[in-house]
Structure 1
Amino acid sequence: MSAFLIFLRGNARWVAAAFVLTFFSTIGQTSFIGGSAGHIRSEYGLSNGQWGMVYMIGTLASALTLPYLGAIVDRLTVRTVALIIAPMLAAATALMALSAHVVGLILTIYLLRLFGQGMFPHTAYTATARWFTAQRGKALSLVILGHNAGEAVLIAGFVALSAAIGWRLGWLVLGVAVLVVALPLVMWLAAVERVPASTEINPRVVDARDWTRGEVLSDPIFYLSMLGFMAPGFIVTVIFFHQVYLVELRGWSLGVFASAFVVWAGVNSLSTLMTGYLIDRFSGLSVIPFVLLPLGVASILLGTMTAGWTPFLVMALLGASSGAATTTLGSVLPEVYGLRHLGAIRALIVATTVFATAAGPGITGYLIDVGVGYPAQLVTMGVYCFPVSLLMAFVARRVRARTLPSKAVSDRPPG
């Protein structure tokens, strides 16, 4: 039996618990909520700009809340956290179905983004990082595939469901699914906590000492690393948000551009699995200098190329970078800041990246309105990725330099 199958046989319940959380987190993602945008704008009488403002307000509010709420993952078990966040996500879907006022819509977006986009995957990644050490990369890569599965199943399924019973009733059905499918599964699968030291042979111990969130906020490495961590969310969100405008500029078919998402999904999944292998083989710190390189090339291609095949190559590059970025972030944080306060620290970083995803469409849209060409913006974003990749190599060296001496001291025999 292969090592991969042996790993799955021994760890299926924990990987599956986190996978379920990332699968259902799709409900709070922009790609899912955007499917109801036409109905929302029509029924609430919103222009594209007004709908964008509602979405930005709800998203930014969720980002402000996440650093505080996300810290509960450090104090409570996954089962207890699930008992809190699953009913709240279900309540958000119910509010989407029943709300008739724009204030209710803002609250809906806030809850969907806080619990769907925020707490569901945050809980999954934090728990996985704690449950696994030597095979953390492999475990995280499998858990992250829940996003791909959710986008493949839930988005298409909701479109069909809305056509059959209406979009509002479709959102109610989603809430029921969270309560009767997601919550019981997570409660059952996570009933037993995994202890890495008792189940892994010769674990690769590379984690740093346990930093507090206050210490992280005073660490220059944190601010340098955020220049890299924020880039994928900012750039990919901008590209997807303005895809119709880009297609019009390039004279491409929107249908052809949409079909390129198949390439995105496939390469994203492969990149996720490959990155997990590389992290287990080397470390997350060894991988981070390379994560932004495909993203930089993709942005420059979009800004300069007009050939019909460009979207397919770009989607492959975006998928490679996005899969690597998500897997690496989940794995590298324990190597930089330890495990004890991982939930609080990760919530802080996720909140910052959510700010970036919320700000990206607004900033680039404003620049387009005042005459700054969108292709030039894309090229600028692409060029940005290359010096920041060098900066990430510097960050990795600095983290190793401060981690290894402390590890050597801790490994020294007493006396």
Structure 2
Amino acid sequence: MPEFIRSNPKLAFFALVAVAASGFGQTFFIAIFGGALRAEFNLSNSLYGAGYSAATLLSALVLLGAGTLIDHWPLRRVAILGILLLTAGCLVMGLAHSAWMLLPGFFLLRFAGQGFMTHMGMTTAGRYFTENRGKVIALAALGFPIAEALLPTTGSLIIEQQGWRSVWLLSAGVLVLGVLPALYWLAGHAGEQDAQSAEATHHNNNHYTRAQVLRDRGFYCLLPAALMTPFVVTAILFHQGAIAGERGWSLSVLAGAFAGYAGGHLLALFFAGSIVDRIGAQRSLPIALLPMFTALLLLAFSNAWWLPYVYLTLIGIGQAGTGTASSALWPERYGTTHLGAIRSVSQASMVLSTAVSPLLIGLLLDQGVSVTGISLLLGAVVLFASLLTLTAALTPQQTTAQGG
């Protein structure tokens, strides 16, 4: 067993399983049902996409309130709630017999999956580990590539053999019979003493409340950098077909390039945590954005045969680095007492960014803006967000921690 999780291996793997389970509500899994759902309910692309975006936006708003539950409830109770809501989303989708039922289905999947389960896993990794927080967060983040590797492929095979409804019903069974018991056992008694701990640290100025965080100028200097990866990655991957069409890339080239993206993401997670633990999350964040900035510059100025492989690999590396740094940033900067409430703001902002970015880039493409122009625009935004982090002063929480 790795040394960095020996202090509490069950909670480390709780975070990993929770993040992996979020895959049932992530776009990479839901996307495999797009064609079948549009055909089943006679939906246009625009209407289908509008319903999905609306459900995603609503889930971001609800998460602002629900995300605080992890600060007050035992971890077992939070896990039960998350899994039951995600299971309900799968059942609604599997039993849907009219188009309107897709709306509550999408909402439950996006809220419980992309939002709540990810929030629960990353908050657990950030709250219960201090010395090796970056490594544990990177371990939890391995849940994303695991889900990306297993769920779409398995789901697509089952759709071909038994139809799309069976995938959702089977997913509900896996969540209730497999994931829920695992999380319940791994959670142990975590969180049952949080109320007493919160009372004990009530007068500790190093632990910020959400209201104090929202009054901190540094939060707004750091949040854009934390949102850059989901914003850019969602936009690039969602419109990869249009990008490939303009550049003349074949489907076989794209398949190989996406393997590079997944490989870069996975391999970078093995050293991202160590870097965060060594130099701190706030210092790591702008550095972690460099691979993505480089990828966008390459996409803007090159059309070489190797470009798809290199730029998507760099984006995967950047996703691992920024995901680890941004998740470790909030407990490092603001403490862990109100971490659920604080992370709910960044998580809801992340969900919002993933709903908005495909629409914005789609509008630019429709207006005739080239891939080069879009890449330069995104690169400029990434650079600005990276430089903005340098203006955020350290908090007393960070100063105390670094002072030993």
> Which category describes the TM-score, using the shorter chain as reference length?
over 0.9
Does the 8 A contact of 1:294 with 1:317 survive in 2? yes
SS of structure 2 residue aligned to 1:273: helix
2:302 paired residue among 281, 301, 305:
305
Mapped pair 1:383 → 2:380: yes
User: Displacement of 1:219 after TM fit?
Assistant: 1.6
User: What letter matches 1:56 in structure 2?
Assistant: S
Mapped pair 1:277 → 2:274: yes
User: What letter matches 1:60 in structure 2?
Assistant: L
User: Displacement of 1:245 after TM fit?
Assistant: 0.8
Mapped pair 1:264 → 2:253: no
User: Displacement of 1:393 after TM fit?
Assistant: 2.4
* Alignment match, 1:369: 366
How far apart, in 1, do the equivalents of 2:63 and 2:44 lie?
Answer: 29
User: What letter matches 1:112 in structure 2?
Assistant: L
How far apart, in 1, do the equivalents of 2:401 and 2:28 lie?
Answer: 43
1:116 paired residue among 101, 113, 116:
113
The number of equivalent residue pairs is: 393
2:394 paired residue among 388, 399, 404:
399
5+ residue gaps, structure 2, are: 193-203
Mapped pair 1:356 → 2:330: no
For the aligned residue pairs, the C-alpha RMSD in angstroms reads 2.1
Q: For each residue in 1:147-172, what CA deviation from the matched residue of structure 2 results, as whole angstroms up to 9, or x when unmatched?
A: 11111112211111222211111111
* Alignment match, 1:87: 84
How far apart, in 2, do the equivalents of 1:107 and 1:95 lie?
Answer: 7
Does the 8 A contact of 2:229 with 2:318 survive in 1? yes
How far apart, in 1, do the equivalents of 2:99 and 2:355 lie?
Answer: 19
How far apart, in 2, do the equivalents of 1:19 and 1:101 lie?
Answer: 35
Mapped pair 1:44 → 2:41: yes
Does the 8 A contact of 1:208 with 1:337 survive in 2? no
Mapped pair 1:105 → 2:102: yes
User: Displacement of 1:382 after TM fit?
Assistant: 1.1
SS of structure 2 residue aligned to 1:168: helix
How far apart, in 1, do the equivalents of 2:205 and 2:355 lie?
Answer: 31
Structure 2 length as normaliser, TM-score?
Answer: 0.92
Q: For each residue in 1:233-271, what CA deviation from the matched residue of structure 2 results, as whole angstroms up to 9, or x when unmatched?
A: 111101000011111101101232122221111211222
Does the 8 A contact of 2:72 with 2:191 survive in 1? no
Structure 1 length as normaliser, TM-score?
Answer: 0.90
* Alignment match, 1:244: 241
1:184 paired residue among 177, 181, 186:
181
Does the 8 A contact of 2:5 with 2:136 survive in 1? no
How far apart, in 1, do the equivalents of 2:323 and 2:181 lie?
Answer: 26
5+ residue gaps, structure 1, are: 196-206
How far apart, in 2, do the equivalents of 1:105 and 1:381 lie?
Answer: 32
User: What letter matches 2:221 in structure 1?
Assistant: L
How far apart, in 2, do the equivalents of 1:404 and 1:329 lie?
Answer: 15
* Alignment match, 1:161: 158
SS of structure 2 residue aligned to 1:298: helix
User: Displacement of 1:75 after TM fit?
Assistant: 0.5
SS of structure 2 residue aligned to 1:210: coil
SS of structure 1 residue aligned to 2:369: coil
Does the 8 A contact of 1:67 with 1:351 survive in 2? yes
Indicate how the Cα distance of structure 1 residues 208 and 30 shifts in structure 2: closer, same or farther if over 3 A, else same. Answer: farther
User: Displacement of 1:404 after TM fit?
Assistant: 5.8
Does the 8 A contact of 2:293 with 2:382 survive in 1? yes
* Alignment match, 2:312: 315
User: Displacement of 1:384 after TM fit?
Assistant: 2.2
User: What letter matches 1:315 in structure 2?
Assistant: L
Mapped pair 1:31 → 2:28: yes
User: Displacement of 1:27 after TM fit?
Assistant: 0.9
* Alignment match, 1:203: none
User: What letter matches 1:145 in structure 2?
Assistant: L
* Alignment match, 1:200: none
Does the 8 A contact of 2:265 with 2:319 survive in 1? yes
Moved more, 98-107 or 85-94: 98-107
Does the 8 A contact of 2:134 with 2:273 survive in 1? yes
How far apart, in 2, do the equivalents of 1:307 and 1:405 lie?
Answer: 47
Indicate how the Cα distance of structure 1 residues 208 and 333 shifts in structure 2: closer, same or farther if over 3 A, else same. Answer: farther
* Alignment match, 1:235: 232
How far apart, in 2, do the equivalents of 1:322 and 1:407 lie?
Answer: 26
Does the 8 A contact of 1:208 with 1:338 survive in 2? no
User: Displacement of 1:229 after TM fit?
Assistant: 1.5
User: What letter matches 1:6 in structure 2?
Assistant: E
